[in-house]
Chains A and B, each alone.
Chain A
Amino acid sequence: MVYGLFLVSGLAVGSLYALGGIGLVILRNSTGVLNFAYGAIAAFSAMFAWQVTDWGLPGVISWISAVCIGILLSVAYGRLIAPSLAWREPAVKAIATLGYMLILLGLIGFIWEDALRRIDLPSDKIGLSLLGVRVTLTRIIAFVVSIAVVIGMVQYLRRSNMGLNMRALADNRDHAALLGIPIVRTETIAWGISGALAGFTGLIFGSLVRLEPTVITFMVIPAVAAAICGRLTSLPLTLAGGLFIGVAESMLTLYKPAAPLRTMAPFLIAALVIIWMQRGQKLTFAKEV
């Protein structure tokens, strides 16, 4: 029974990691950028949603605004900064996003003074009991959306022209350009989708965990671990990785000596996955994707 409690709790947190990881993988699949600013974009979006509510506007506007701000911040980087790094190594592209993360974190601190804040969603009040744990509708939404996004994006990438363009870019940016694929448009859409997911994740995270910009920003770390479980390419494996990390982290709580160290779980799992999946194969950062 007690394992059931922690399993359900872990799945709820894992779905947040998975959501973050999925947003990272979608972007990297089409642009080659591992976006470490993903968490900061999520944090900015969540803070903006709170601000909109604080202005007295209806909740639905604040939720939509979170997604819109996520898109705006993500596309801004994708259009203004990322193109000048398009031909650099993947590691350089990833490190550049760390700079964007620090800029956003600084902006958040400048705009919003440190204070107690909270985002309440109507779905927080609705829930059901599962294996002894009350699971709110917000957590169910996070779980369902993460699965729906994986299914939707897999289909989108397989069946739509834009999906084909994204896959072509992911395979070889030079060849895609020579074939006449609209690179800027394709990448802008990828940045937009990733930003929308960051905005949504920030909103849910701010409600379920806590509305603290730093905590939301560094949510990108377990999200990257989830993405690594999917080898930065596979959405279904990223989903599975995120859920597994969440459950492992939760279950470690039951073993008291390991409980204070359970935040290491994402790194350990990611490291083990890298070692396992890269047996004699290509290195993740070895070449341009």
Chain B
Amino acid sequence: MKLTTTLLAGAAALCLASFANSAAADGHGPSCGLNTGEAATGEPIKVGGINGNAPPGDFSGGTDAAAAYFDCVNANGGINGRPIEYIVENDQWNPELAGQVAAKLVNDDGVVALVGNGSVVSMAVNANLYEEEDVMVMASGCAISECYESSNIVSTNQGPLPSGIGALTYAVEELGTKNAACIGFNIPNNGGWACDWMEDYMSSQGLTGTSILMDPTAVDLNSVYLQALSEGADTILLMLPAGPAIGLLKVAEEQGGRDLFKWVSPTPLYEPGVADVLGDYWNDNLYIHIELAPFDSDGADNQNWAAVVEAFGQDGDRRDTFSQSGYISAKFFVEALLELDTDSIDRATVSDAIRAINGAESDLLCAPYYVGDADRHMPNSTGRMVAYTGSAFEVVRDCFAIESSYFEPIRAQEAALGITQ
């Protein structure tokens, strides 16, 4: 568990730089920022990050990957000679602590921006603070409406709404879904929010959608499953984190439910360890929408993400979608900073530079990334579908845009910025 990570140029950076250079020499090393191979030694630029890492979950993948990338950047020339001092705080899913650590970073430390954030609690608590202080947050792991409906937060990950509707789009178009049950947490800005829009999507298609909301600590998953059965649904959309989704799949396995429903899920079930807990029962019967490129993709950015985390990350760092997302957020952030006059880097210029990001590309994403000056941000609303095959995930549909009336203001922003999904 990592409470605070401070990246400073110095001996550690020199060691890392020499390691990175040796790795780069064989053609498989990481590539970061200016890629000079020289450690940055100028005045540090303070950047913050907040994650939630305590029971019931670890959302530190985004900040871990961002820390690794910034380390790599610092070992390769920094921001035109200035290293990034990355200060990471863990809010432990505690709203009071979330407020305190955000105030510390924004008011006391004076960070120019926050990058790689992965805490739904922090987003809900601090969205107003970020707006009042005009500090931009390039988040990486979020799952509540505040992340996507705030002027100063832009998250690289999709969260449940687009990813869930993406999964359902595939189910309707490829699996013949007519009546879907969305099983989510009974949290208004999470499961309730995403499942409501799922119902709206199904209705727009002339089909039936039902929300089945449960308490996050619900024990009788059997009843949840039986409720879906009694609703007459033909498809179950698991709008849940991986843990409860696995619990529900186990109940369904007990009941022989694999063939009674079509099973689809947003990204949380796309996790490296999922095959160890699901076994073979669900092979070719579970379809998952993924927000970023597959972990084993041979795209340059995906390969670089893996190389950066390998060379500059810690042993315990998570290698999941949030990690990929943290890498992308950090990379686009660094690219934006490199456009600035080094001496003029402060919060105002950095916020403007982030808002000016438009058309940034990465093979991890299906479409260009952008921010813009808007009251909401959702730059990633395309994705892929994979089928669970036990030993691996097989891509069954490559990049496709997710459509729902929810995206109307998003599409209007994109049109204004000249971006097509």
A-to-B contact residues, CB < 8 Å: 2, 5-6, 9-10, 12-13, 16-17, 105, 108-110, 113-118, 124, 127, 133-134, 136, 205, 209-210, 212-215, 217-219, 222, 246, 249-250, 253-254, 259-263
Contacts and interface: CB of A to CB of B under 8 A. Distances in A.
A250 B221 contact: no
Contacts of A110: 1
Interface in B48-74: 53-58
Interface size class of B (residues with CB under 8 A): 35 or more
Contact of B219 (A133, A215, A260): A215
B221 A209 contact: yes
A6 B223 contact: yes
A213 B56 CA distance: 8
Contact of A109 (B1, B244, B271): B1
A152 B218 CA distance: 30
A254 B224 CA distance: 10
Given A260-B186, A263-B215, A214 B56 contact: yes
Interface in B300-350: 316
A124 B316 contact: no
A215 B56 contact: yes
Interface stretch (B77-85, B246-254, B287-295, B351-359): B246-254
Contacts of A210: 221, 243-244, 246-247, 250
B219 A13 contact: yes
B223 A249 contact: yes
Given A210-B243, A210-B244, A213-B55, A9 B222 contact: yes
A116 B273 contact: yes
Nearest to A215: B217
B230 interface: yes
Contacts of B256: 134
B125 interface: no
A201 to B, nearest CB: 12
Interface string B218-237: 11111110110110000000
Given A9-B220, A249-B220, A134 B254 contact: yes
Contact of A250 (B57, B223, B276): B223
B1 A219 contact: no
B242 A109 contact: no
A212 B242 CA distance: 11
B39 interface: no
B213 interface: yes
Contacts of A215: 56, 217, 219, 243
Interface in B115-144: none
14 contacts: A6-B226, A10-B220, A110-B1, A115-B273, A116-B242, A116-B243, A116-B274, A118-B276, A124-B254, A209-B247, A210-B244, A214-B217, A259-B227, A260-B215
Given A109-B1, A114-B58, A263 B243 contact: no
B277 interface: yes
Given A2-B230, A116-B271, A116-B274, A259 B212 contact: yes
Nearest to B55: A214
Nearest to B255: A134
B104 to A, nearest CB: 23
Given A253-B227, A259-B213, 8 more contacts: A5-B229, A9-B220, A113-B58, A114-B53, A134-B255, A249-B223, A253-B226, A260-B214
Nearest to A249: B220
A81 to B, nearest CB: 22
A116 B230 contact: no
A215 B1 CA distance: 21
A210 B253 CA distance: 13
A12 B277 contact: no
A246 B56 contact: no
Nearest to A14: B220
Contact of A10 (B223, B242, B243, B276): B223
B238 to A, nearest CB: 13
Contacts of B273: 115-116
Interface in B1-33: 1
Q: Closest 6 A-B residue pairs measured CB to CB? A: A210-B247, A114-B58, A263-B215, A214-B56, A118-B277, A13-B220
Interface in B240-281: 242-244, 246-247, 250, 254-256, 271, 273-274, 276-277
Contacts of A16: 219
B199 to A, nearest CB: 13
A159 to B, nearest CB: 34
B277 A116 contact: yes
Nearest to B230: A2
Contacts of A219: 219
A16 to B, nearest CB: 7
B215 A109 contact: no
A118 B215 contact: no
Nearest to B274: A116
A270 to B, nearest CB: 16
A12 B247 CA distance: 15
Contact of B222 (A13, A217, A222, A261): A13
A12 B221 CA distance: 11
